[in-house]
Structure formats: structure tokens, C-alpha cells
Amino acid sequence: MPRTTTIALVGVHGYGTVHLDNLRRLGDRVRLVAAADPRPPEPGALPEETRVFPDLPSLLAATDDIDVVIVATPLHTHLELARTVVDRGIDLYLEKPPVLTLADLRVLEGAAGRSGARVQVGFQSLGSRALRAFAEDRFDLGPVRAIGAVGLWARDRAYWERSRWAGRRELDGVAVVDGVTTNPLAHATATALAIAGTTAVADITQVTADLYRANAIEGDDTSLLRVSTTRGIRVTAGLTLCADEQVDPYVEVHGRRRSARFFYTEDIVEVDGRSERFERDDLFENLLDHRDDGVALLSPLSASGAFVAVIDAVGRTAPHRIDPAFVSPRGEGPGRRLVVDGIEDAIVRAVDAEATFEELHLPWARRTVPEVVLTLPGEGSGTGVGTGMPLAELVDGGDAARSSSPRPYLHPLRTPGGVIVTDHHPADHDWHLGVSVALQDVDGTNFWGGRTYTPGEDYIWRDDHGRIDIARVERIAAGAVLDLRWIGPDGGNVLRERRELRVLHRDDRAAVIELSFELSPAADRTVMLGGPGSNGRAGGGYGGLTWRLPACSDVDVRTPSARGEEAVHGTVAPWLAWSGAFADPTGGGPAEATVGLAAADEPSAADPWFVRAADYPGIGAALTWDRAVAASPAAAVRRAYRLLVADGRLTDADVAALLA
């Protein structure tokens, strides 16, 4: 039979009460001989034989034969208390996070290594047997490509006023770093890292911390963490304590074949519409088993390095205040809480896109670097552009997620009246970026973003995404000439592109921009340009010029000879037009606008139009509709188009005249 283990508990209030309940559950296997807390426990909270001390040093000085110390105190006290315990060679159960910096982690690891003390860290979710199922790929996900964590919780004023250290970054000269990432939803990130097999500091290559606060605190209450790992798996955690309604947090594991959602507080995994509940091993009991029988620790200090590296980055990043204009209060008094408008959608979008709030250009997110490298000015006496608003802005796009194939794009593109007729990073397809030039298969590299169409396997995630960088911008009259580099996943240059943008016409109602591009191999060999259509997907011939439109209603998409998505998609015609009701820039009701495309040279006139209206709003010119196109050193691939933006619903005659 296992022997009785003597226990000392440091911190009997707060989460310490959970440990007291657990010790009662373990019965005769444990004996709580001492407890330390500057605030005396409530009468009857501890066994009669438990001695109570105001602090840990006095407890250790007066108590012999302690086998395990449990530390359940505020996170900024962990290092000093933990070191005091392990220096004496006493085993330690330390609540999460173990420490706040990598330097502190090295100190604690060194102390434990010298004394031989064993340390278990209280990330309770790591005791779930679902983690073993993920490691064995019991859900047939295939190789893991990305992992996301979503935490949507709500906390009121009383939560932030419960103690002196709550919500603080520093207290009495000591780092505290209390916030959503380090405390209440720390398990979300820790669980995601564990499933990714990322436990050591050396397993991480980069940490991005995008931190915000809506409440009157120093710490973060709404944040995005993005972690790149040596295994090529990116872990993204979107966390908030400012949700409208609290929901169960989850970790989403994306494999090559399918995805699974793990509700880690409930130990439930959902895959393909079915769910399975797993048992959970208690981490403290696991520490006892390790002492008695040598079973492996489930959450040893050595496995917390990756998480501490993330928290270290959080501690070095100052949270930014969210403008109160984007925050709505709920309730009164101590129950009053703040809700960031639209935060649920923002969190899910950010995690799905592996993008920061800044990269999604959310209205309350900070801007650290200017992204617009060019504006196409407007003229005239009308509203919108004529009052100083640019017709279009060229964004370098370098901050897009790797899986969205970063590239330059026009956004926002406006009508003369100011109606925005482009969208970027939409929730349905994060890689749809305004008006851009993109191809899904350039000698095997995906310069489109998202899943890659693969014959025989349909769309699958592959590590094949490239990016398009701006090498040079030359401003010309009413436009610009750009030199671009198409760079593959290995960093090699695949294509050179020369792109020209020029405003051909503008008045108070309509404007026309000419966009041309020329693609040539970066090396002395032919490069094949293709996409889903050239790889066998019928009707999926997108690639080339692509225009993602914002949400709109009452859509009329047409060519001179056809009307409607089904009739227009895949046809060749002199021009393509789309009229609809878009968001009004003044905040009023829907605003009518028309956009259009026309070929500006003979090769472009032979490419079919691509249209999506039912699934999402988008148009384009299909360079590789059903066949690949060769770009050789002797023959570059060139295309040229005219883009129309106009207020109101134009007649076909007006569209034809403006695009001619």
C-alpha cells in the first residue's frame, strides 16, 4: 500500500481551497501537517492537527518531515517560495505558471537539479488522457499543421478588485504580469503547446504577443499569442475576459486530413460531429504516484519551458488600451463588466487566420508600422474621394499569416462617393486580400493562400506557401510601377513581377484604374503557372487577378451576354460588372455601387471570368482556367485589366463606355 505522504500547503485561500478539497479526497494517503498564509484560514477549513503559520520560512523552521509542499499563491511570489522549498530537497507542487521569466525558470531548474527535488506544475488540463489520444493520432487527423486556442470568458469589476495584485504588471517593485494570458486562460496556451509537442524553450522559434486592455488595469484582458515552433507547427491563442457571454474554452487541432476541437475544461474532443469524453489524471496524485512508484510526471517543471518563454514575451510587451468607443459596459456596481464589441468574431478570425488583431486591421487594434506604401489620389468635387479620401491604397501585405501567402494588395478601394468595394482577411477566407495578383500553383508553390488543391486529395493544408515582396516602388503620374519578388517557402526567388497601376479616368461618379502585370522567371528556366483548374478541378480555375468584394446585397453580376453567377462564371466576354448594395460610408442605409473588369490587351481578353456570389462575393480574371501557362526566360506572361468603381447602379451601356 502507498505510504502516507506529509503535506504542507502554502496559500489556503483562493485556489488553495481546491487543494484542500483534493487532499480530503485522497484520504489516508496524505496528511496535511502544516499550512502557511498571512491571512488565517476560516474556522474548520483545516484538519485539527494542521499547524498554521504566517509564512513559509516559519513553517519550515518549526516543522520536520515534510514530503511535499503545495504552493498556491499569487504568481509573482512563486519563485521565492519555490526556491525555498526545493533548496531543502522537498518535492514541490507549484501552481501555474511556475515563474514569469526565463531567467527565473533557469534559477528554479538549477535549484531543483542541485537538491534532487521533484517539481510538478499545476496545469491541470495536462492530466487529460485526451492529450495521449492526440499524440497517438487516435482521431486520424494526420500530421498536425496548426493549433489554435480560443478563450472567451467574462470577468467583472469585482474580479479585478479582489486583491492588490489583480490586473497589475508590477507591485512594490516586483513583476506581477497578471492578465488573461498568464492567469485565468493560461491553460489554453499551455494545452495547445503540449499537443503541439512544444514543451522546451528550444522548441520555440518566435513568439508574438498582441496585448490589449479594455478594463482600467495594467495587465492584458484581451490578447493574441502566436508561437512558431521548430516542428513547423504554429500555435495561436486568442484570449479575452471581455466577452459578451462566457463559453467553454477550446483548443482546435488542425491535421492534414481533418480537425478536432478539444474542450479542455471538460475533457471532451469533437471530431466530424461526434464527441468523446476522456478521463483526467489528477496532477497532485500523479506526483504522489511518481514518488511511490516512479511513474512519469505529467507536468514536470522541465516541460514548462515553452510556456514560460511565451509568458516572458508577454512580460516584455506592454498592453495597449482599447478605445472606449469600441467597448460596451454591462451591469452595475461590482458586477459591472466591459465587453469589447465584436470580440467573439475577432478572436475566432484571428485564431483561424493565425493573425494578430493588428494584422486583421480591427478598428481598435494598434498600428505599429505603416502598411500603406502608396495611395492613388482622387480628384473632383464630389464627396468621398473629392474631399481628400484616396481612391485606393496599396498595402504591402507583409503582415499576413504565412498560410495566407502574404502579398501586396489594393485595399480599401473606393468609389468617388467613398463606398468601399474591397475586403481583406474575411472570416471565410483569410487569404482573400482586396485586389491582388495571386496563383495557387507556381511550380508547386502556393502564392494564393489557404489549402492547396491536390489531385486525388481535394484541398489539403500543405507547407507550400510563398510570399510576394515589394522590391521597389516608382511613382508615376496618377499611379506607380512596382518591382515584385515571388519568394518560395525555402526563401528562393521564383518569379520577378513588374506591375503598373494607373488611374485612367475619374469624375464625381466613376473611376477607372488600369492594372497590368508581367511575370518572368527569376532564374534561367521556365516556370509553370497553374492552379486548381489546371490541376483538374472543374470550374475552379481561379488565379491571376482576383478581387474580393465586401458583403453586399441585391447583387446583379453580368457580362454583355449573360447574367447571374452560374451564367457568367467561366465565360469569356469584353467586360464583367457587379452592382449591389454595399455599406454606406456615412453610416446610413445601404449604398448602391457598381464595379467592373475589362481586359486591356489581347492575351487578357482570352481569359475567362471567375465569379463567386452565393458562397462569398468575389470576381477575377482566370489566368489558368483549365491549363497551366508557361513563363519562360524568352517569353514573360503579361496581363492587363481595367478596374471600374462607380457610385450607383450603372447601365450596361455606361459600364461598356467607361471600360472601353
- The model's pLDDT over 297-329, given as tens digits with 9 standing for 90+, comes to 999 999 999 999 999 999 999 999 999 999 999
- Residue 5 CA, chain-centre distance (Å), reads 44
Q: Does the structure show a pLDDT above 80 at 523?
A: yes
- Burial class of 347 by CB neighbour count within 10 A (0 to 12, 13 to 18, 19+): buried
Same domain, 100 and 198: no
Q: Is the pLDDT of residue 539 over 50?
A: yes
CB 105 within 8 A of CB 98: yes
Between 23-32, 254-263, 578-587, the lowest mean confidence (pLDDT) is in 578-587
Task: Say if residue 548 is in the same domain as residue 418.
Answer: yes
Q: How far is CA 634 from CA 242, 445, 522, in A?
A: 58, 22, 12
- Grid cell locating 82: 519555490
Distance CA 428, CA 352 (A): 9
> How many distinct structural domains can be found in the chain?
3
Residue 537: count of CB within 10 angstroms of its CB: 18
Q: Is residue 366 part of a domain?
A: no
The reported pLDDT for the residue numbered 478 is 86
pLDDT tens column, 207-266: 999 999 999 999 999 999 999 888 878 899 999 999 999 999 999 999 988 999 999 999
**Which stretch of 190-199, 207-216, 388-397, 589-598 has the lowest confidence by average pLDDT?**
388-397
Residue listed under C-alpha cell 482600467: 216
Nearest Cα to 403, choosing from 541, 530, 254?
Answer: 254
Whether 32 is covered by a domain: the verdict is yes
Same domain, residue pair 85 and 221 = no
Domain end call among 125, 147, 174: 125
User: pLDDT-derived band of residue 127, with 50, 70 and 90 as boundaries?
Assistant: very high
223-227, 258-262, 478-482, 497-501: which has the minimum mean pLDDT?
Answer: 478-482
Greater confidence (362 vs 640) lies with: 640
The rounded distance, in Å, linking the Cα atoms of 113 and 160 is 37
385: confidence class by pLDDT, cuts 50, 70, 90:
very low
Q: With CA atoms as reference, report the closest residue to 6 among 94, 66, 95.
A: 66
Residues 54, 56, 61, 63: is their CA dihedral positive or negative?
Answer: positive
| 461 and 502 co-located in one domain | yes
Quote the DSSP letter at residue 4: P
| Amino acid 374: pLDDT | 67
Residue 427: pLDDT band (50, 70, 90) is confident
Three-point CA angle 506, 509, 512, nearest 5°: 35
Query: Is the same domain home to 313 and 442?
Result: no
Nearest Cα neighbor of 3 from 309, 277, 288 is 288
Query: Which of residues 78, 93, 125 is at a domain's end?
Result: 125
Query: What is the predicted pLDDT for the residue at 321?
Result: 97
3-state secondary structure of 613: coil
Percent of residues, the chain, with pLDDT higher than 90 = 84
Cα atoms in the Cβ-side hemisphere of radius 13 Å centred on 530:
20
Provide the strand spans (E) within 55-123: 68-71, 91-95, 119-122
> Are 238 and 318 found together in one domain?
yes
Look at residue 201 in the predicted model and tell me its pLDDT: 93
Q: What is the mean pLDDT of residues 588-609?
A: 94
Res 379: pLDDT: 47
Asked whether the beta carbons of 215 and 170 are under 8 A apart, the reply is no
Are 386 and 413 in the same domain?
yes
What radius of gyration, in Å, describes the C-alpha atoms of the chain?
29
506 falls within a domain: yes
Residue 380, pLDDT above cutoff 60: no
Residue 414 dihedral angles phi and psi, to the nearest 5°: -125, 155
Higher per-residue confidence, 475 vs 117:
117
pTM higher than 0.75: no
User: What are the phi and psi torsion angles at 369 (to 5°)?
Assistant: -135, 145
The answer on pLDDT for 529 being more than 80 is yes
Task: Measure the CA–CA gap between 317 and 635, rounded to whole angstroms.
Answer: 50
| Angle between helix 305-315 and 102-115 (nearest 10) | 150
Q: Is 515 in a helix, a strand, or coil? A: strand
Distance of CA 524 to the CA centre of its chain: 38
pLDDT at 79: 96
pLDDT band at residue 534 under the 50/70/90 scheme: very high
Among 67, 100, 125, the domain-final residue is: 125
pLDDT at 367 over 80: no
| 375 & 316 share domain | no
Q: Residue 381 pLDDT > 50, yes or no?
A: no
- Residue 190 and residue 62 in one domain: no
Residue given cell 490589449 in the structure block: 212
- Across the range 365-390, mean pLDDT stands at 56
Query: Does the pLDDT at position 432 exceed 50?
Result: yes
- Of 122-131, 190-199, 453-462, least confident by mean pLDDT is 453-462
Q: Give the domain CATH number at 334.
A: 3.30.360.10
Dihedral pair phi/psi, residue 441, rounded to 5°:
-140, 100
pLDDT, residue 389, reads 73
Cα 86 to Cα 93: distance, rounded to the nearest angstrom = 10
Contact between 238 and 232 under an 8 Å Cβ cutoff? The reply is no
pLDDT band of 384, cuts 50, 70, 90 = very low
Residue 292 placed within a domain: no
Q: Please check whether residue 293 lies inside any domain of the structure.
A: no
> What letter represents residue 386's amino acid?
G
Is 458 inside a domain boundary? yes
Rounded mean pLDDT of the chain?
A: 93
Who's near 61: CB < 8 A, 6+ residues apart? none
Q: Are residues 610 and 465 in the same domain?
A: yes
- Contact present, 469 and 484 (Cβ < 8 Å): yes
388 pLDDT exceeds 70? no
- Do 439 and 573 fall within a single domain? yes
Asked whether residue 632 is domain-assigned, the answer is yes
Same domain flag for 490 and 620: yes
Who's near 137: CB < 8 A, 6+ residues apart? 255
| pLDDT of the residue at 377 | 65
Is 374 in contact with 480 (CB distance < 8 Å)? yes
Task: Report pLDDT digits (tens) over 408-422.
Answer: 999 999 999 999 999
We report the CATH number of the domain holding residue 41 as 3.40.50.720
Distance of CA 157 to the CA centre of its chain: 28
**pLDDT digits over 599-636, tens only?**
999 999 999 999 999 999 999 999 999 999 999 999 99
Q: 3-class DSSP state for residue 9?
A: strand
Determine the length of the chain.
660
Give the per-residue pLDDT at 368: 60
Whether 365 is covered by a domain: the verdict is no
Q: Domain range holding 77?
A: 5-125
Higher pLDDT, residue 581 or 400:
581
Which CB contacts under 8 angstroms, 24+ apart, belong to 225-230?
Answer: 225/181, 225/189, 225/310, 225/314, 226/354, 226/355, 226/356, 227/189, 227/193, 227/198, 227/306, 227/310, 228/204, 229/196, 229/197, 229/198, 229/203, 229/204, 229/205, 230/198, 230/202, 230/203, 230/204, 230/205
Nearest alpha carbon to residue 571 among 537, 619, 615 = 619
Query: Judging by DSSP bridges, how do beta strands 30-36 and 51-53 pair with one another?
Result: parallel
